[in-house]
Each structure stands twice: as structure tokens, then as C-alpha cells.
Amino acid sequence: MKPLPQPGAGAIFVAIIITCLVLFLFQRTVWLVMPALVSLMLFYCLRPVVKALVHRGVSHEWAVAWVWLLLQLVSVVVAFNIFRFVVAQATSWESNYDRYLAAGLNLMTKTTAPLEQMIPALKRAGLDSQLNQQIAEIGASLTGKNLLPVILLTLKWLPCVLLVPYITYFLLKDSVRLKKFIIKSVPNAFFEKSLLLFSRLDASLQNYFQGLLWLTLLDTACLACGLKVLGIPKALWLGLGSAVMAWIPYVGSIIACATVVLVAAVNFPESVQIAYACLILFVIVRILDDFIFLPLTIGRKLHVHPLLSLVMLFLGGTVAGGTGLVLALPVFAVVSVISDVAAQIATDRKLVARFWMTRRMANETCKKLSAHG
Amino acid sequence: MPSGDGMKLFGANNHGAKKIEMLKNIPIFQTLTRNELLEVDEMLHERTYETGEIVFEKGEMGHGIYIILEGRVKVNPCPELPASAVLEMGRNEMIGELALFDEVPRLATVVAAERTTMAALFQSEFTSLLTTNKNIGVKVLVEVTRILGHRARQLLIREKHVPSI
């Protein structure tokens, strides 16, 4: 396919406005949008496997069934290992928890003490004691009866998580059929343009998810290398986990950063510099992510200019918070393609005339048939 | 919808064997194996055109080719076409083949001469097939090239034109 013509400023402006509206609506239905997004990602990752199986002589239905079964097996193995890890840790949970809490408080004291010496006003305000008290309270609330809301929140999101394999299965099984079904309902006059629209949408989404995977790999490489240099144990897994957590904008990165800093504080209780270095590493990777990796991977894959990618990220975050940040680029890419093709159809007088002529012909045929009984 | 063989190709109650048989009769797919034909079938879009309905118009960008499964189409004469050009096409013939390789403007207007059912193969899907399944790609390309070569040869003979090389 030829490279897409660059849309004009007016078209971009319209696409930005529609994207903002869509993001606002998505924020209201985040419980459905998020599983759909994960399913789409799995779909684009697994589709080549299904195609490879079909090429080897397996029927499409069986290929989808095998791939889905494999996905389920992997999910069960991962869930089982997580469960086993949690059970294994359960006996020493409290002691580990205390160790991590103590390391956190130690880090906080070592951080605030020099600050209080430098700024007497902070000492007068009792910064150290207040922060320690706050952390101890948070720690106590996490172990005690206040865990209930967390469990309830997890239960609330559980049905959404369970939706993922089913949406993925039906996408793998019926995406071609669904596409054909939709195309079949399109009038002949607009048939080729509709196919063009589908093709471009498919390419945009595939590029987005490929870009996201590249971004995760880049993040993992940077974080793992940085953490390894700092001497943090299990650097690769911590890097990978943090990169995956970064899919949840802001919150995910903060949680991942706090976890790694705590791990550093536990492993190097005497050397707070290591924990600070971890924090700096996260900030650097975050900056690289937002200003270089994200526009280069996802932005480039979606054929969106890096500057426009940044504008969309800011707008998405403003309009729909975290959901907006995650979805701003893919939604913008999809909206751009739809508005571009829709404009092409609407402004093509020949196509529109052909559509009306065909309708007139069909009406006349119907009249003739009814006149002949 | 008509109830010809062409319609049975994509319908819900079709049997695999019937589908394969139909696709096997289409010249560009005749060298493909059963599994390859099933893969190709996923990419074909069936359209039905009423008598007099325009399939595509001269000058508009072409995004794919059409294979006639049932019925006939006629090509409207235009100055770009040679006087000897075939102006009517029927079952198992393909039209708009140049659009399979590039998005180029259609050379002539094609109209359904009677109720016609066609299978459309979209250029981007065909390109993706070439990259994901090279076996099918090569076989189809060889057949398309053979047909194009045959047409070029006919044109040269009719126009009594001798190429310079």
C-alpha cells in the first residue's frame, strides 16, 4: 500500500477533538475498555501463531482452539506459580513485611535527618517524626482490617480480567468473519474504500501493539542494565515487572519505582545512596520513555509525528486521566484513519453519485417486479 | 442474493470441498494446494452487482482485483484501450489486475452486463499474504504474470507491434 498522504491542519484538529471526546467516553467505561485493550494486544500477538498453524494444514477453528488452550495453560502456570510464591511467603509474610517496613522507615530517617539539619524549619515542624508516623500508619492499615477495601477492589476488577480470554478467543476466531460481515453490508459503491479503511485500521492497531512491545523491551533493557550496575538482585525481573507496570501511566511507574527502591533499601540498609540511585534511574528512564522512546516506538509505528504524540499524551491525560494517557495514541491513530477515509468518501462526488444511481436502479427493479406481480 | 455456485462459495452452509473446487477453477489459484486455497478463501470478498451497475470507474484509484464467479461484465470503450481490446468478460476471468501490485488509477469503466457475482481480492491483503505465506504468494504471482504475459502477447500480435528488444 502506498504511504498515507499527510492530512491537513483542519483534519488533524478535527481528529484531536474527536479523540478527546472518545477518551472522555472511554474513561466512563474503563471496566470494559481495559479488558478489550488487553484482548486486542493478545490478539495481535497471537494472530501470527494462528496463521502459522493454518499454513501448516490445521483448520482455522482448531488453530484458534490450540492457541487459546496454550494461552490458558500459560495463564494457569503463571497463576499457579504466583499462588505458590504467595503461599511460600505466607509463613514469613509478617517478618518480611516488617523487614521491608523497617527498611523503608530507615531510608526515610536517613533522608530526612540531613534535610532537617540543613533546614531548621523542617526540624521545628517535626518532619522526620511525622513522616515516620504516616508510614507506620500506612503499614499498619495494610496488614490489618483495612485490607478489606483492597480485596473488594480486586474482586470488582476480577470479572473484567476474566473477560480477557473470552474476548481474545472470539477475536481470534471470528475477526475475519466479522470483517467480512461488516463489509458485506457496505454498498458496492463504497466497497473498496471500506476495505481500505479496515486495512488501515488493522495496520494502525497492529503497529500500536508492536510499538508497545518494543517500548516494554527498551524499558526492560534500560532498567535491568541500570539495576544490575547498581548491584540490585534479580535486576532483569525487576526491570521487566517495572516495564509492564509502566503500561498503567503514572500509578504503575510510581508503584514499580517504590518497590525497587524498597528492594534496594532492604538489600543495602547501610547505603542509602543505592536507593537514591534507583530513584534517579527511574526518573531518567521515565524521561527517556516520555520524550524519546514513546514518540520513537509507538509514535513512529502509528505514523504520528513525535510532537503530535506528545500533544495527544498531554491532552489525553488532561481529558481522561490515566485512561487517557494509555489510550490517547491508539485512539488518535484510529480516529485519524476513520476521519481521513470518511472525508475521502464524502468528498468523492463520483462515488456518492454511483451510490444513489444504484439505489435508484434497485428501486426501479423492485417496482417492475411488483408491477408484474 | 442469487443461488448460483458463486454464492455457495462463501455462504454459511458451504462445504469445504465445494469451496476448494470453485477456487481451483479460478486460473490464478489453480496451482494452490487445498490448505492454501482455504487461506486464500479467507481473504476473498464476494460482491453481487445488478445489471448496469458500475463495478469501478475509469480514473478512480484501484485497490484490488475482481474475479468473476457468475455473470458477465463489459468494459466501456475509451481512447486509452486498443481498438482490439476484449470488451466483455465472463466466469473465472479477472479484471483490474494491475491494481494488485500498485494503487493505480483504473484504465476503464467496468459495468455489470447482467447480474454478476464477483470475488474481490484486496491489494493490501494480497501484499500481506505475499509476506506471511511466500509459497502462496509465489504461486499466485506466477499465474498472474502468466496471464498478464499472455495478454501482452495478444496485444502485440493484434497491434502488429514488434518490441525494440
Number of separate domains in chain B: 1
Q: What is the pLDDT of residues B62-94, one digit of tens each?
A: 888 888 888 999 888 776 666 656 678 888 888
Question: What pLDDT score does A281 carry?
Answer: 92
How is residue B96 written as a grid cell?
Answer: 483490474
B29/B37 Cα distance (integer angstroms): 7
Q: What confidence category does residue B164 fall into, taking pLDDT thresholds of 50, 70 and 90?
A: very low
**Angle at A168 (CA atoms; ends A159, B17), nearest 5 degrees:** 140
Describe the strand order of the beta sheet including B110-112 as a list of residue ranges: B54-56, B110-112, B73-75, B88-89
Q: What is the mean pLDDT of residues A152-177?
A: 81
pTM for the full model? 0.69
- Among the residue ranges A177-191, B12-26, B81-95, the one predicted with the least confidence is B12-26
Separation between Cα atoms, residue A278 and residue A291, nearest integer Å: 20
* Long-range Cβ pairs for the range A11-14 (8 Å, 24+): A11/A336, A11/A339, A11/A340, A11/A343, A12/A308, A12/A336, A14/A339
pLDDT band at A187 (very low <50, low <70, confident <90, very high): confident
Closest CA of chain B from A343, distance in Å: 15
pLDDT value, residue A227: 92
| C-alpha cell at position A168 | 481474545
- Whole-number Cα distances in Å, B141 to A145, A249, B128, B135, B137: 69, 47, 13, 10, 6
Higher-pLDDT residue of A8 and A71 is A71
> How close B119 comes to chain A (CA, Å)?
12
Q: Are B56 and A192 in contact (CB under 8 A)?
A: yes
Q: What would the mean pLDDT of A308-329 be, rounded to a whole number?
A: 82
Q: Average the pLDDT over A169-190 and give the result.
A: 86
Query: In terms of pLDDT, which residue wins out, A115 or A14?
Result: A14
- Which is higher by pLDDT, A222 or B135? A222
A199 → closest Cβ in B10, B124, B133: B124
Q: Is B89 helix (H, G, I), strand (E, B) or coil?
A: strand
How far B48 CA lies from chain A's nearest CA (Å)?
A: 8
**Would residue B165 count as lying in a domain?**
no
pLDDT band at B25 (very low <50, low <70, confident <90, very high): confident
pLDDT of the residue at A225? 94
Residue A255's CB: how many other CB atoms inside 10 A?
Answer: 15
All three cell numbers of A30, joined, read 474503563
Cell numbers linked to A36: 478489550
What CA–CA distance (Å, rounded) separates B91 from B6?
Answer: 10
Instruction: Say which of A2, A203, A361 has its CB closest to residue B52.
Output: A361
If one counts every other C-beta atom within 10 angstroms of the C-beta of residue A48, the result is 11
- CB-CB under 8 Å, A196 with B133: no
Which residues of B are less than 8 Å from A191 in CB distance?
Answer: 45, 47, 120
Q: Is B127 on the interface with A (CB under 8 A)?
A: yes
pLDDT band at B11 (very low <50, low <70, confident <90, very high): very low
CA distance B80 to B101: 20
Residue A143 has pLDDT above 80, yes or no: no
Residue B76 lies in a domain: yes
B46 and B94 Cβ atoms separated by less than 8 Å: no
Q: Which of B10, B35, B63 sits opposite A57 (nearest CB)?
A: B35
pLDDT over 90 percentage in chain B: 4
The pLDDT of residue B47 is above 60: yes
Count the helix, strand and coil residues of chain A and give each as a percent rounded to the nearest 5.
Answer: 90, 0, 10
Alpha-carbon gap, residue B20 to A197, rounded angstroms = 29
Whether the per-residue pLDDT at B103 is higher than 80: the answer is no
* Amino acid of residue A306: P
Q: Decide: helix, strand or coil at residue B83.
A: coil
Task: Give A349: exposed, middle or buried? Use CB within 10 Å, 0-12, 13-18, 19+.
Answer: exposed
Chain-wide mean pLDDT for chain A?
Answer: 80
In which domain, by residue range, is B92 found? 5-158
Residues forming a β-bridge with B74 = B88, B111
The answer as to whether B164 is a domain residue is no
Q: What pLDDT score was predicted for residue A223?
A: 93
Asked whether B32 and B138 are in contact (CB, 8 A), the reply is no
Question: Chains A, B: CB contacts under 8 A, how many?
Answer: 66
Query: Out of A125-129, A255-259, B23-27, which region has the weakest mean confidence (pLDDT)?
Result: A125-129
Residue A18 host element (H or E): helix A9-28
Q: Which residues pair with B68 in a beta bridge?
A: B118
Return the DSSP state at B82.
Answer: -
Compare CB distances from B49 to A55, A60, A188 and report the shortest one's residue. Answer: A188
Average pLDDT over residues B13-29: 71
Interchain contact B71–A (C-beta under 8 A): no
Burial of A77 (0-12, 13-18, 19+ CB in 10 A): exposed
Chain B nearest C-alpha distance from A218 (Å)? 26
Q: Is residue B152 part of a domain?
A: yes
Query: What are the pLDDT digits (tens) for A226-278?
Result: 999 998 888 888 898 888 888 765 667 888 888 888 888 888 888 888 888 99
Test mutation, A188, A337, A364, chain B, max B CBs within 10 A: A188
Mean pLDDT of A315-328: 83
User: Cell 491542519 maps to which residue?
Assistant: A9
Is B123 an 8 Å CB contact of chain A? yes
Give the number of other Cβ atoms within 10 Å of residue A119's Cβ.
Answer: 12
Q: Which of residues 22-41 of B touch A (CB under 8 A)?
A: 35, 38-39
d(CA A178, nearest CA chain B) in Å: 11
Q: Which residue has the cell 502468466?
A: B146
With an 8 Å Cβ cutoff, are A60 and B122 in contact?
Answer: no
Alpha carbons within 13 A on the beta-carbon side of A272: 12
| Predicted complex ipTM | 0.72
pLDDT in tens, A332-355: 888 887 887 788 777 878 788 888
Min mean pLDDT across A275-284, A299-308, B102-111 is at A299-308
Q: How far apart (Å, rounded) are the C-alpha atoms in residues A289 and A239?
A: 14
Shortest distance between the Cα of A19 and any Cα of chain B, in A, equals 26
Per the domain annotation, does B163 fall within a domain?
Answer: no
**Could you tell me the three cell numbers for A60?**
482455522
The cell 464467479 sits on which residue? B69
Mean pLDDT of A145-155: 62
Q: What's the pLDDT score for residue B80?
A: 65
Find out whether B57 and B109 touch, Cβ atoms under 8 Å. yes
Measured CA to CA, the distance from residue A209 to residue A301 in angstroms comes to 9
CB B113 within 8 A of CB B51: yes
- CATH number, domain of B102, equals 2.60.120.10
CB contact under 8 A, A195 and B102: no
Chain B CA closest to residue A191: B47
